[in-house]
Amino acid sequence: MAHIPLYVDFSGLNVLVIGGGKVGYRRAKTFLDDGANVTIVASYFSEEINDIKNNSKVKLINLEIRNSKDIEKLIDENDLIVIATNNYEINNEIYELAKQKRKLINNATEASKGNVIVPFRKKIYDYLEVAVTSLGYTGIAARRSLEKIEKCLINDIEIKTLYDSMKELKKYLKENISDSKIRYNLYFEVEKDEIYEKYVKEGNTKKALERAKEIVNQYIKG
Protein backbone atom coordinates (compact mmCIF):
# COMPACT_ATOMS: atom_id res chain seq x y z
CA MET A 1 0.00 0.00 0.00
CA ALA A 2 1.39 3.40 -1.02
CA HIS A 3 1.16 6.35 1.37
CA ILE A 4 1.55 10.10 0.82
CA PRO A 5 3.03 11.99 3.80
CA LEU A 6 0.66 14.85 4.63
CA TYR A 7 0.09 17.23 7.51
CA VAL A 8 -3.66 17.54 8.02
CA ASP A 9 -5.42 20.06 10.26
CA PHE A 10 -7.82 17.99 12.37
CA SER A 11 -9.37 20.96 14.16
CA GLY A 12 -13.10 20.32 14.37
CA LEU A 13 -12.95 16.96 12.59
CA ASN A 14 -14.54 13.89 14.18
CA VAL A 15 -12.42 10.90 15.17
CA LEU A 16 -13.83 7.58 16.34
CA VAL A 17 -11.49 5.49 18.49
CA ILE A 18 -12.63 1.90 18.88
CA GLY A 19 -10.89 0.45 21.92
CA GLY A 20 -10.46 1.89 25.40
CA GLY A 21 -7.05 0.51 26.33
CA LYS A 22 -3.65 2.19 26.44
CA VAL A 23 -3.27 2.21 22.66
CA GLY A 24 -6.72 3.71 22.21
CA TYR A 25 -5.90 6.34 24.81
CA ARG A 26 -2.66 7.35 23.07
CA ARG A 27 -4.39 7.68 19.71
CA ALA A 28 -7.28 9.62 21.26
CA LYS A 29 -4.85 11.97 23.03
CA THR A 30 -2.93 12.59 19.81
CA PHE A 31 -5.99 13.70 17.86
CA LEU A 32 -7.48 15.53 20.83
CA ASP A 33 -4.30 17.59 21.21
CA ASP A 34 -4.61 18.53 17.54
CA GLY A 35 -8.14 19.86 17.98
CA ALA A 36 -10.32 16.93 16.92
CA ASN A 37 -13.60 15.85 18.48
CA VAL A 38 -12.93 12.34 19.78
CA THR A 39 -15.42 9.58 20.51
CA ILE A 40 -14.05 6.51 22.29
CA VAL A 41 -16.08 3.31 22.11
CA ALA A 42 -15.25 0.32 24.30
CA SER A 43 -16.68 -2.24 26.69
CA TYR A 44 -14.14 -1.03 29.27
CA PHE A 45 -11.89 2.00 29.68
CA SER A 46 -8.34 1.99 31.02
CA GLU A 47 -7.24 4.28 33.83
CA GLU A 48 -5.41 6.49 31.33
CA ILE A 49 -8.75 7.47 29.80
CA ASN A 50 -9.53 9.32 33.05
CA ASP A 51 -6.97 11.94 32.01
CA ILE A 52 -9.14 13.08 29.11
CA LYS A 53 -12.70 11.96 29.88
CA ASN A 54 -13.74 15.38 31.22
CA ASN A 55 -12.57 17.22 28.12
CA SER A 56 -15.52 18.79 26.30
CA LYS A 57 -14.25 17.37 23.00
CA VAL A 58 -14.27 13.79 24.30
CA LYS A 59 -17.25 11.44 24.35
CA LEU A 60 -17.09 7.98 25.94
CA ILE A 61 -19.54 5.30 24.82
CA ASN A 62 -19.63 2.06 26.76
CA LEU A 63 -20.90 -0.83 24.65
CA GLU A 64 -20.05 -4.28 23.38
CA ILE A 65 -18.48 -3.66 20.01
CA ARG A 66 -19.13 -7.01 18.37
CA ASN A 67 -22.33 -7.07 16.32
CA SER A 68 -23.37 -3.65 17.58
CA LYS A 69 -25.65 -1.77 15.20
CA ASP A 70 -24.49 1.45 16.84
CA ILE A 71 -20.97 0.99 15.47
CA GLU A 72 -22.06 1.42 11.86
CA LYS A 73 -23.87 4.64 12.74
CA LEU A 74 -20.81 5.93 14.58
CA ILE A 75 -18.56 5.12 11.64
CA ASP A 76 -20.90 7.11 9.38
CA GLU A 77 -20.69 10.12 11.71
CA ASN A 78 -16.89 10.29 11.92
CA ASP A 79 -14.13 11.36 9.55
CA LEU A 80 -11.36 9.06 10.79
CA ILE A 81 -11.76 5.62 12.33
CA VAL A 82 -9.05 4.40 14.72
CA ILE A 83 -9.02 0.65 15.34
CA ALA A 84 -7.39 -0.17 18.67
CA THR A 85 -8.93 -3.25 20.28
CA ASN A 86 -6.99 -6.40 21.20
CA ASN A 87 -9.43 -8.63 19.31
CA TYR A 88 -8.29 -9.50 15.78
CA GLU A 89 -11.74 -10.52 14.54
CA ILE A 90 -13.39 -7.33 15.79
CA ASN A 91 -10.61 -5.21 14.32
CA ASN A 92 -11.01 -6.92 10.96
CA GLU A 93 -14.79 -6.46 10.98
CA ILE A 94 -14.42 -2.76 11.76
CA TYR A 95 -11.80 -2.38 9.06
CA GLU A 96 -13.97 -4.01 6.39
CA LEU A 97 -16.99 -1.92 7.37
CA ALA A 98 -15.06 1.36 7.41
CA LYS A 99 -13.36 0.46 4.13
CA GLN A 100 -16.73 -0.11 2.46
CA LYS A 101 -17.75 3.36 3.58
CA ARG A 102 -14.51 4.82 2.16
CA LYS A 103 -13.42 6.19 5.51
CA LEU A 104 -9.95 7.20 6.63
CA ILE A 105 -8.74 4.30 8.78
CA ASN A 106 -5.87 4.15 11.25
CA ASN A 107 -5.38 0.58 12.40
CA ALA A 108 -3.16 0.82 15.46
CA THR A 109 -2.77 -2.96 15.61
CA GLU A 110 -2.09 -3.78 11.95
CA ALA A 111 -1.02 -0.88 9.74
CA SER A 112 -1.57 -2.81 6.49
CA LYS A 113 -5.30 -2.92 7.25
CA GLY A 114 -5.77 0.82 7.20
CA ASN A 115 -4.97 3.80 5.00
CA VAL A 116 -3.67 6.27 7.61
CA ILE A 117 -0.45 5.89 9.61
CA VAL A 118 0.19 8.01 12.70
CA PRO A 119 3.94 8.76 12.77
CA PHE A 120 6.19 9.58 15.69
CA ARG A 121 6.51 13.37 15.81
CA LYS A 122 8.85 15.87 17.40
CA LYS A 123 8.83 19.67 17.27
CA ILE A 124 12.41 20.89 16.86
CA TYR A 125 11.67 24.62 16.72
CA ASP A 126 8.35 26.47 16.72
CA TYR A 127 8.30 26.20 12.93
CA LEU A 128 10.06 22.88 12.33
CA GLU A 129 8.52 19.52 13.14
CA VAL A 130 9.85 16.13 12.12
CA ALA A 131 7.76 12.98 11.68
CA VAL A 132 9.05 9.43 11.24
CA THR A 133 7.28 6.17 10.48
CA SER A 134 8.40 2.63 9.76
CA LEU A 135 5.09 2.10 7.89
CA GLY A 136 3.97 -0.21 10.66
CA TYR A 137 6.99 -2.53 10.68
CA THR A 138 8.78 -1.45 13.86
CA GLY A 139 7.79 1.41 16.12
CA ILE A 140 10.89 0.96 18.29
CA ALA A 141 13.25 1.62 15.38
CA ALA A 142 11.14 4.54 14.15
CA ARG A 143 11.19 6.14 17.61
CA ARG A 144 14.96 5.77 17.88
CA SER A 145 15.39 7.21 14.39
CA LEU A 146 13.41 10.26 15.46
CA GLU A 147 15.57 10.68 18.56
CA LYS A 148 18.71 10.67 16.41
CA ILE A 149 17.23 13.20 13.98
CA GLU A 150 16.30 15.46 16.88
CA LYS A 151 19.82 15.31 18.33
CA CYS A 152 21.24 16.12 14.91
CA LEU A 153 19.03 19.17 14.34
CA ILE A 154 18.47 20.68 17.76
CA ASN A 155 22.05 21.96 18.12
CA ASP A 156 22.71 22.65 14.44
CA ILE A 157 23.19 26.42 14.35
CA GLU A 158 23.41 26.47 10.55
CA ILE A 159 19.99 24.85 10.10
CA LYS A 160 18.38 27.08 12.72
CA THR A 161 19.86 30.21 11.13
CA LEU A 162 18.64 29.09 7.72
CA TYR A 163 15.13 28.61 9.10
CA ASP A 164 15.11 31.90 11.01
CA SER A 165 16.38 33.99 8.10
CA MET A 166 14.23 32.29 5.45
CA LYS A 167 11.13 32.65 7.62
CA GLU A 168 11.66 36.41 7.83
CA LEU A 169 12.65 36.60 4.17
CA LYS A 170 9.34 35.02 3.19
CA LYS A 171 7.47 37.82 4.98
CA TYR A 172 9.66 40.44 3.32
CA LEU A 173 9.14 38.99 -0.15
CA LYS A 174 5.36 38.82 0.24
CA GLU A 175 5.31 42.45 1.36
CA ASN A 176 7.36 43.66 -1.60
CA ILE A 177 6.81 41.29 -4.54
CA SER A 178 3.36 40.14 -5.62
CA ASP A 179 4.44 37.67 -8.31
CA SER A 180 4.77 34.22 -6.69
CA LYS A 181 7.03 32.90 -9.47
CA ILE A 182 9.51 35.71 -8.89
CA ARG A 183 9.43 35.12 -5.14
CA TYR A 184 10.07 31.43 -5.73
CA ASN A 185 13.14 32.12 -7.87
CA LEU A 186 14.50 34.66 -5.40
CA TYR A 187 14.53 32.10 -2.59
CA PHE A 188 17.05 30.08 -4.58
CA GLU A 189 19.02 33.16 -5.58
CA VAL A 190 19.42 33.97 -1.90
CA GLU A 191 20.24 30.41 -0.92
CA LYS A 192 23.11 30.07 -3.41
CA ASP A 193 24.60 33.47 -2.59
CA GLU A 194 28.05 32.94 -1.06
CA ILE A 195 27.83 35.87 1.35
CA TYR A 196 24.42 34.77 2.62
CA GLU A 197 25.68 31.19 2.98
CA LYS A 198 28.69 32.42 4.97
CA TYR A 199 26.46 34.17 7.51
CA VAL A 200 24.18 31.14 7.74
CA LYS A 201 27.11 28.84 8.54
CA GLU A 202 28.32 31.31 11.16
CA GLY A 203 24.89 31.35 12.78
CA ASN A 204 24.49 35.09 12.19
CA THR A 205 20.77 35.45 11.51
CA LYS A 206 20.80 39.25 11.46
CA LYS A 207 23.54 39.48 8.84
CA ALA A 208 22.06 36.62 6.81
CA LEU A 209 18.69 38.37 6.65
CA GLU A 210 20.29 41.71 5.78
CA ARG A 211 22.14 40.07 2.90
CA ALA A 212 18.97 38.34 1.72
CA LYS A 213 17.13 41.66 1.67
CA GLU A 214 20.00 43.24 -0.27
CA ILE A 215 19.58 40.62 -2.99
CA VAL A 216 15.83 41.22 -3.12
CA ASN A 217 16.25 45.00 -3.23
CA GLN A 218 18.78 44.71 -6.04
CA TYR A 219 16.19 42.77 -8.04
CA ILE A 220 13.47 45.35 -7.30
CA LYS A 221 15.70 48.23 -8.40
CA GLY A 222 16.60 46.30 -11.55
pLDDT of residue 1: 65
- The confidence band for 66, taking pLDDT boundaries of 50, 70 and 90, is confident
Which pLDDT tens digit goes with each residue over 105-128?
999 999 999 999 999 999 998 889
From 12, 74, 7, select the one nearest 41 (Cα to Cα): 74
From 150, 115, 217, select the one nearest 107 (Cα to Cα): 115
Q: In b/e form, how buried is each residue of 73-108, taking b as 16+ CB within 10 angstroms?
A: ebbeebebbbbbbeeeebbebbbebbeeeebbbbbb
The model's pTM? 0.87
Higher pLDDT, 69 or 150: 150
pLDDT greater than 80 at residue 25: yes
